[in-house]
Amino acid sequence: MSEELLKLTCKELRDKIAGGAVKSVDAASAVFDRIEEVDGTVGAFISTFKERALETAAAVDEKIARGEAVGALAGVPIAVKDNMCVSFGKTTCGSRILEGFEAPYNAGVIEKLIAADAVIVGKCNMDEFAMGSSTENSGLKKTVNPWNTDCVPGGSSGGSAAAMAGDMCFASLGSDTGGSIRQPASFCGVTGLKPTYGRVSRYGLVAYGSSLDQIGPFTKDITDTALMMNVISGRDERDSTSVGEDMAPVPDYLANIDTPIEGLTIAVVPQFNEGADGDVQAALNAALDVYKSLGAEIIEIEMPHFDYAIATYYVVATAEASSNLARYDGVHYGHRTADAKDYIEVYSKSREEAFGMEVKRRIMLGTYVLSSGYYDAYYLKALKVRNLIRSDFTKAFEKADCLMMPVSPSTAFKVGEKTTDPLQMYLADIYTISANLAGVPGISIPAGFDLDGLPIGLQILAENFAEEKIMRVARMFEKQTDFRLASPQL
């Protein structure tokens, strides 16, 4: 019974709960039993809120028994990445510097989940401050890939993706600064959407690269992507970069997902596809064949500035990070050194003791590119290239409805394989980083398996605020294939 329950989508579970066929308390209990059973191996969660979750679930069941209206996620167990503030537990950001930190307020997305009657299960592991592509940079614990526990789950939202693949929640939230939703979704065989910059409030999301960060959902299928986006999207006065209804109204994402796009034109960049591993290329080509059989036209285009995306990203992201992370001073938040003789030492020793290697590397790099002698040569130059990358997308979307490409050059790599060479880790983000520089939305959907049985994702990108179109395009593929239904053996 509980195994069957755990296989339901959010939409199915919500409808059963609202109709009285399933109790929310039973769904939550099934999730916590599952966490107990497998999370010792997977390591997806940094903290869980069992007591609170069961209380919320019981309250939802009572509302339903009284015949009251319930929200769009009534009684559905949801997990969140540990960089979104909650007022009822810890928010660590995967860092020892915030290990004991309890936020005094809920992030905008958390408020929205609560308002939709969701049951928040726990907080998921991540690379420290979302810096990484494998979750190996977490200062707190290891997370492995449920499909093969010798492999990484991807990152930085690796915990949120692994919790989904391990059936430890029905949907989860991640954040994507350079690929951190799409890449772990691809590595773990689930669906992950990075919305347009500004679509979802960043209020209460611990800042990494503020002009790149965006929260989005991990789900089992596109129906749930739409459901989650209905709940979390929209303007928030407390995030000045969140976009208003006047500029880009939030549609009902569920309304049209089953309507295929007539005369769909898909752009591909041949050299991108050739740059990926054989199995990844094969999955992409097979996906394009599915679209062709549905009447889509495939065109080849160029994205001439993509070659500079990684370099540009690592200037912009580290510059912003060095400024955002200056607030961890041993006074305002988290860890404070026990051994300082003056204020400067409080600052330097607290940071020295509690930040991990990768975070220190990025603070140094960011400080360097912003320093007066180098600002023009690096930071300003990067901003200019960022504009050129943006214009590559604009031109592409003048010719095609969407762009398709791999999510990552490879499937999930082995634990430890890239930790000694940060540059190798950075290069793995080649296909995802440009979308963040341009702000455009992108999704990863399950599109196959490699010879070792590891999942492969297909990436679909479209112009700003075209999430609905992306979902419709993705849904066309999802209806023809069943990759999303396979589960790992844990």
CA–CA separation, 78 vs 121, rounded Å? 6
Query: What value, to the nearest 5°, has the Cα angle with vertex 278 and ends 275 and 284?
Result: 80
Pair 79, 124: CB distance under 8 Å: yes
Query: Is the Cα torsion angle 374, 378, 379, 381 positive or negative in sign?
Result: positive
Quote the least distance from Cβ 155 to ligand GLN, whole Å.
Answer: 6
Please choose, from the candidates 395, 472, 358, the residue with its C-alpha nearest in 3D space to the C-alpha of residue 130.
358
Per CB under 6 A, the list member of 9, 29, 133, 191 interacting with ligand GLN is: 133
34, 60 Cβ separation under 8 angstroms: no
At its nearest, how many Å lie between ligand GLN and the CB of residue 214? Answer: 9
**Minimal distance in Å, beta carbon 248 to ligand GLN?**
23
Q: Answer yes or no whether residue 180 interacts with ligand GLN by CB under 6 A.
A: yes
Q: Is 161 in the site for ligand GLN (CB under 6 A)?
A: no
Annotated active-site residue 157? The verdict is no
Which of 9, 156, 223, 324: binder of ligand GLN (CB under 6 A)? 156
* Binding of residue 177 to ligand GLN (CB under 6 A): yes
Q: Is residue 130 near ligand GLN by the rule CB under 6 A?
A: yes
131 near ligand GLN, rule: CB under 6 A: yes
**Which CB atom, from 77 or from 174, has the smaller least distance to ligand GLN?**
174
348 is known as an active-site residue:
no
> Is there binding between residue 77 and ligand GLN (CB under 6 A)?
no
234 binds ligand GLN (CB under 6 A): no
When asked if residue 48 is in the footprint of ligand GLN (CB under 6 A), the reply is no
180 as an active site residue: the answer is yes
Q: How many CA atoms are closer than 13 Å to the CA of 180, on its beta-carbon side?
A: 32
Contact between 138 and 128 (Cβ < 8 Å): yes
CA separation (Å) from 113 to 116, 120, 160, 227, 407? Answer: 5, 8, 16, 11, 28
> Which of these is catalytic: 63, 81, 349, 418?
81
> Exactly one of 89, 108, 122, 132 binds ligand GLN (CB under 6 A); which one?
132
Q: In what order do the strands lie in the sheet with 455-461?
A: 45-48, 119-124, 77-81, 171-175, 215-219, 191-194, 442-449, 455-461, 402-406, 265-268, 297-300
Tell me whether residue 176 or residue 236 sits nearer to ligand GLN (CB atom): 176
- The contact mask relative to ligand GLN for 89-108 (x = CB under 6 A, - = no) is --------------------
Q: Choose among 485, 436, 431: nearest CA to 459.
A: 431
Binding pattern to ligand GLN, positions 425-444, x when CB under 6 A? Answer: ----x---------------
Positions of E strands within 125-249:
171-175, 191-194, 215-219
Determine if 153 is a binding residue for ligand GLN (CB under 6 A): no
CA-CA-CA-CA torsion sign (32, 33, 34, 38)? positive
Among 154, 179, 216, 446, binds ligand GLN (CB under 6 A): 179
Footprint on residues 292-331 left by ligand GLN (CB under 6 A): 317
What is the biggest distance separating any 2 CA atoms in the chain, rounded to whole angstroms? 71
Binders of ligand GLN among 190-229, rule CB under 6 A? 208
Q: In angstroms, give the least distance from the CB of 434 to ligand GLN.
A: 12
Work out how close the CB of 362 gets to ligand GLN at its nearest, in angstroms, rounded to a whole number. Answer: 8
In whole angstroms, the minimum distance from the beta carbon of 474 to ligand GLN comes to: 20
CB 245 within 8 A of CB 198: no
Active-site residue, selected from the candidate residues 138, 157, 175, 180: 180
Whether 145 and 412 have beta carbons less than 8 Å apart is answered as yes
**In angstroms, rounded to a whole number, what is the distance separating the alpha carbons of residues 113 and 245?**
20
Check binding of 74 to ligand GLN (CB under 6 A).
no
Q: Which residues bind ligand GLN (CB under 6 A)?
A: 130-133, 156, 176-180, 208, 317, 429
Active site residues: 81, 156, 180
